[in-house]
Structure 1
Amino acid sequence: MKRKAATMQDIARQVGVSVNAVSLALKDRPGVSDDTRQRVREIAQKIGYKAKKTPPPETPQTRKSICVLLRHRFFRDFRFYGRILLGIEETAKQAGYDVQISSFGGEEVPASVQEGRVSGLIVLGTIDDKFLARLREYGVPLVLADHQSSVYALNCVVSDNFFGAYGMAMHLFRKGYTRIGFFGDPNYTPSTRDRYFGVLKAIQDHVCPGDMNAALAYLTRFSTRGMIEKYVVEQNVARIFELYEDIPETPEALICSNDELAILLMQVLQKHDIAVPGDVAVAGFDDIETGSMVTPTLTTVHVRKKLMGQRAVECLLRRLDDPDAPPEKHIMSVTLVERESV
Structure 2
Amino acid sequence: MAKAATVYDVAERAGVSIATVSMTFRRPHKVREETRKIVEAAAEALNYVPSASARGLAHGRTGALGLYSFDYFRPEAFEVPVALEPVGQTRAGEVAVVRDDDEHHRRFPLYVDEVQRGVELECWQRGYALLIGGGSRADRPTVVTDIVGRVDGLAVFPRTVPDDVLERISQRIPVVALSEGQQHDGLSKVCADNRGGMRAVTEHLIVEHGLRDLQFVGELSMFDAQERFSGFQAALRGAGLRVPRKPLARLAVDQHDTGRVIADVLARGGDGLPEAFVCVTDEAAVNLMEALAEHGVRVPEQVAVTGFDGIVAGRVVRPSLTTVRQPMQAMGRAVVDILVERLADPAGPPVSRRLPVQVVLRESCGCSRP
TM range (shorter): 0.7 to 0.9
1:92 aligns with 2:101: no
Match status 1:71 vs 2:74:
no
Residue 151 of structure 1 deviates from its aligned partner by: 4.2
Quote the Cα distance in structure 2 between the aligned partners of 1:165 and 1:134.
31
The 3 A distance-change label for structure 1 pair 242 and 192 is farther
Match of 2:188 among 134, 142, 155: 155
Bigger relative contact order, structure 1 or 2, given CA contacts below 8 A and separation 6+? 1
Does the C-alpha gap of structure 1 residues 180 and 228 become closer, same or farther in structure 2, counting only changes over 3 Å? closer
Distance 1:278 1:242 in 2: 18
Closer/same/farther in 2, CA of residues 151 and 141 from structure 1, 3 Å limit:
closer
1:294 offset after TM fit, Å?
Answer: 1.0
Partner residue in 1 for 2:55 = 57
What do residues 10-43 of structure 1 show as CA deviations (whole Å, max 9, x unaligned)? xxxxxxxxxxxxxxxxxxxxxxxxxxxxxxxxxx
2:111 to 80, 87, 92: 80
Offset, 1:243: 6.2
Matches within 5 A, 1:219-230: 219-220=244-245, 223-225=247-249, 227-229=250-252
2:212 is the alignment partner of 1:178:
yes
Matches of 2:73 and 2:127 in 1, distance apart? 27
For 1:292-307, what aligned pairs fall within 5 Å after superposition? Answer: 292-307=315-330
Scaled by the length of structure 1, the TM-score of the pair is 0.73
TM-score for the superposition, normalised by structure 2:
0.67
Give SS of 1:67's match.
strand
Q: In the TM superposition, what are the counterparts of 1:276-295 in structure 2 within 5 Å?
A: 276-295=299-318
Match for residue 320 of structure 1? 343
- Shift in CA distance, 195/136, structure 1 to aligned 2, threshold 3 Å: same
**Unmatched 5+ stretches in structure 2:** 1-51, 75-106, 366-370
Percent identical across equivalent pairs?
A: 27
> Which ranges in structure 1 are unaligned for 5 or more consecutive residues?
1-53
**Looking at CA atoms only, which structure, 1 or 2, has the larger radius of gyration?**
2
Pair 1:133-2:164 in alignment: yes
Query: Contact conserved, 2:179 with 2:223, CA < 8 A, in 1?
Result: no
Greater share of helix: 1
Q: 1:78 to 1:289 in 2, by over 3 A?
A: closer
What residue number does 2:7 align with? none
Which AA in structure 2 matches 1:179? D
1:238 match: 259
- Paired residues of 1:164 and 1:336 also in contact (CA < 8 A): yes
1-side partners of 2:292 and 2:157: how far apart? 32
How many aligned residue pairs are there?
274
- Cα RMSD, aligned residues only: 2.7
Other-structure match for 1:265: 288
Report the AA paired with residue 308 of structure 1.
M
